[in-house]
Structure 1
Amino acid sequence: MPDPMPALAPGSLTLPAQPRVLVLGDSYTEGYGAEPETKGWAYLVGKPLGWKVTVDGIGGTGYLNPGPHNEGNYLQRLPKLQGRTFDLVVLQGGSNDRDATYPVLQDAVTRTIDTVRAEFPGTKILLLGPATPYGKPDEPRITAQCVLAGHAVAQDLPFVDPLGEAWFVDGDGDRYANPVNGHPSNAGYKRIAARFETDVRVLLGETKPS
């Protein structure tokens, strides 16, 4: 497996002013666990970064998993966005592809990235790995992290890695998790948004890695 923690490269992402950004992902993008869900990280990052964000998050979905009600995996949901224009597509998640082997998930991520490029010519792509407010990741999250890291290295794509950067550590669940559903709480999503913003500013060359 590839190194799961490729370094953020300052200046490796260029965007126009007030870019149009699509965030495509799972329940974390949806904001599940936040009250209301619009307090989720994907809704919080637009204003400080100056982005016009379209949020497409559906719980239980992934690069392979179409969700509990067949809402569609990431690849299957892209056609409904035809005709839209985005400067950046953020692909978040992967932890719901729990039964996928490394090669199978690797192929699904490849096909998703290829389709994004075909549907939105010229758009930039940023990969955002899985996270957990409890700190210690399970095996599906680690597999997804490694697959995404491999694509980042092979295709020279920016990769924001919550697990590798330890956005949450053991014991953080008491502070950052919604006890009802195990997803981030408002405080947890606020932390994800802040760490994501910090990494994006490094990628844009606005700040240096800390």
Structure 2
Amino acid sequence: MSRYHSSFGRLSSVASATLLVVTLALASCSSAKKPGVQTPPPPTSTGPHLVAAFVGDSYTVGFGASDLSHRWSTLVAQHFGWTEKNFGIGGTGYAAAAPAYPTRIPAVAAVNPEVVIVSGGFNDLIQGVTDIQFQQAAYMTFALLRSALPRARIVAIRPFYPASPPTPRVPVIAEAVRQAVTAVGGIYLDIGSPLAGQTADMSIDQIHPNDTGYRSLADAVEGAYTTHK
């Protein structure tokens, strides 16, 4: 959430190169799981050998935290006893800037995680990504994840938003994320907007959370994830 420029060329190239892969991945998910798409069971181990990959933007990086141990992804990983692999890159999103989420899937797959948690969407909102572009990028992200990691538990989080009032488009992109992740048998965590109106939970830029704000996000994610275990 720190680079506010648009860069769709790389995503367009990825889209062209992977369109067939995404189509086949979605078809495979659909045909293999009839009569309904089934969510993979939660990992049986919660020990340090369970790897959880976190894909996201500057919130996943931990911008605004006093140190990385206070970012929400690290707090969540510690709570569940996971080994965290962090794939957050500031200023990016499902379609926003480069490297957008679909281009990061090979790196995520390389660590062979049992759980993949994807968050983001704010940068897509502020960088001019259209609803159609966002929807396509979200479907591509989760289809590629499922194709690369057929046994992983794939989780998407409702897009984080700062303390300022959310724009009317937030529910639109949130629904696009929900549809995209559930289409591949993943789960969607609707955590609401834990930071809404909580200016004291934000860092000096009022865009990124401080330690208290990240703790609030972690609590919301932990609670929502636990209901799906």
Bucket of the pairwise TM-score, normalised by the shorter protein: 0.7 to 0.9
Deviation at 1:168, TM superposition (A): 3.1
Tell me the TM-score normalized by structure 2.
0.73
Q: Where does residue 31 of structure 2 map in the other structure?
A: none
Indicate if the aligned counterparts of 1:95 and 1:144 stay in contact, CA closer than 8 A.
no
Q: Secondary structure at the match of 1:203?
A: coil
Superposition pairs for residues 1-210 of structure 1, below 5 Å? Answer: 14-17=42-45, 18=47, 19-66=50-97, 70=98, 72-98=99-125, 99-134=128-163, 136-152=165-181, 154-163=183-192, 166-170=193-197, 172-173=198-199, 175-204=200-229
Deviation at 1:140, TM superposition (A): 4.8
**CA offsets 1:157-206 (integer angstroms, 9 cap, x no match):** 3111233xx42333x11x211123521110000111111111111111xx
Is the helix fraction higher in 1 or 2?
2
Indicate if the aligned counterparts of 1:28 and 1:183 stay in contact, CA closer than 8 A.
yes
**CA offsets 1:56-87 (integer angstroms, 9 cap, x no match):** 11111011123xxx4x1111122234532111
Which has the higher relative contact order, 1 or 2, with Cα contacts under 8 A spaced 6 or more apart? 1
**CA offsets 1:122-154 (integer angstroms, 9 cap, x no match):** 111000121224162124533321211223554
> Please, which runs of 5 or more residues in structure 1 have no aligned partner?
1-10, 205-210
Indicate if the aligned counterparts of 1:62 and 1:96 stay in contact, CA closer than 8 A.
yes
Deviation at 1:96, TM superposition (A): 1.1
> Please, which runs of 5 or more residues in structure 2 have no aligned partner?
1-38
**Residues 40 and 176 of structure 1, relative CA distance in 2, 3 Å threshold:** same
Superposition misfits of 4+ residues, deviation over 4 angstroms: 152-156
Q: Structure 1 CA distance, aligned partners of 2:156 and 2:187?
A: 6
The number of residue pairs the alignment matches comes to 186
* CA-based RMSD: 2.1
